[in-house]
Amino acid sequence: GIQVEQSPPDLILQEGANSTLRCNFSDSVNNLQWFHQNPWGQLINLFYIPSGTKQNGRLSATTVATERYSLLYISSSQTTDSGVYFCAYDYKLSFGAGTTVTVRA
Amino acid sequence: DGGITQSPKYLFRKEGQNVTLSCEQNLNHDAMYWYRQDPGQGLRLIYYSQIVNDFQKGDIAEGYSVSREKKESFPLTVTSAQKNPTAFYLCASSPLRYGTEAFFGQGTRLTVV
């Protein structure tokens, strides 16, 4: 099966900092999405991004399908950005291991 | 309001008992999914369904069962055969069988004592 690597596994940011999260895939994937899981466990869909670039406020995502990776950018981070960020892919909606982000005030 | 409803939010059961977790969606989505999450871990797929009366095993289906008798409902039964059932269970749905974004319920925290 397809292997996915999310990096970094953990990230500590000072409020206002920018960061980049990455998902690398061992093969071409479809249906790529990014989710944020808040500290209460709720998963929120951030982007459906099989290719190209999308932006939503301080967040943006880029997927380069031909090179088998996707990036999530967080700009001007806020404490509410804390949580775990997952990439997911394929029709079965398989998940990466996640990046735990902690934003400090 | 449209969305995915999981109930209950917290559930306690004695070891050896079967327990059913509810997942209902009013989004008219075709596909539904069940995941298990252990503390500090990612999401592992238990079962998924792309159409009524059909479902497929995920990566960790042993000890679990599902049904999909209605498009809106995808209940998960945690059976006594599941050796370590205590976990956080998440249900999701997506509009089409392939290619569109998924949405999650708020989860059920199951504790078996």
Cis peptide before B8 (omega within 30 of 0): yes
Question: Of B42, B45, B100, which is closest to A92 when you measure between CB atoms?
Answer: B45
Strand, coil or helix: what is B73?
A: strand
Residues B42, A48: C-beta atoms closer than 8 Å: no
* Mean pLDDT of all residues in A57-86: 97
State how far the Cα of A32 lies from the Cα of A30, in Å rounded to an integer: 6
Q: In Å, what is the CA distance from B78 to each residue of A32, B27, B53, B81, B82? A: 29, 25, 19, 8, 7
Cα angle B73-B78-B82, degrees, rounded to a multiple of 5 = 150
Distance CA B9, CA B48 (A): 21
Q: Could you read off the pLDDT of A33-50 as tens digits, one per residue?
A: 999 999 999 999 999 999
pLDDT at A2: 87
Average pLDDT, chain A: 95
CA distance B101 to chain A (A): 6
pLDDT exceeds cutoff 90 at A90: no
Name the nearest CA neighbour of B92 among B61, B47, B60, B54: B47
pLDDT above 90 (res A31): no
Mean pLDDT of the region B57-70: 97
**Looking at residue B74, what is its pLDDT?**
98
Pick from B57-61, B80-84, B88-92: least confident:
B80-84
pLDDT for res A83? 97
State whether residue B90 sits within 8 Å of chain A by CB: yes
Residue B93: count other Cβ atoms within 10 Å of its Cβ.
Answer: 25
Average pLDDT, stretch B57-81? Answer: 96
Mean pLDDT of A17-24: 98
- Report whether pLDDT(B98) > 70: no
- Cα angle, residue A102 at apex, residues A99 and B3 outer, rounded to 5°: 70
| Beta-carbon separation of A31 and B104 below 8 A | no
Provide the pairing of β-strand A10-14 with A99-104.
parallel
Which chain B residues have a beta carbon less than 8 Å from that of A93? 33, 45, 48, 92, 94, 102
Confidence class for position B5, pLDDT limits 50, 70, 90 = very high
**Residue A105 burial (CB count, 10 A):** 7
Q: Is the pLDDT of residue B12 over 70?
A: yes
A97 CB neighbours in chain B (<8 A) are: 41-42
pLDDT band at B96, cuts 50/70/90? confident
DSSP codes of every residue in A55-93: EETTEEEEEEGGGTEEEEEE-S--GGG-EEEEEEETTTT
Is A1's pLDDT higher than 90?
no
Task: Please tell me whether residue A39 adopts helix, strand or coil conformation.
Answer: coil
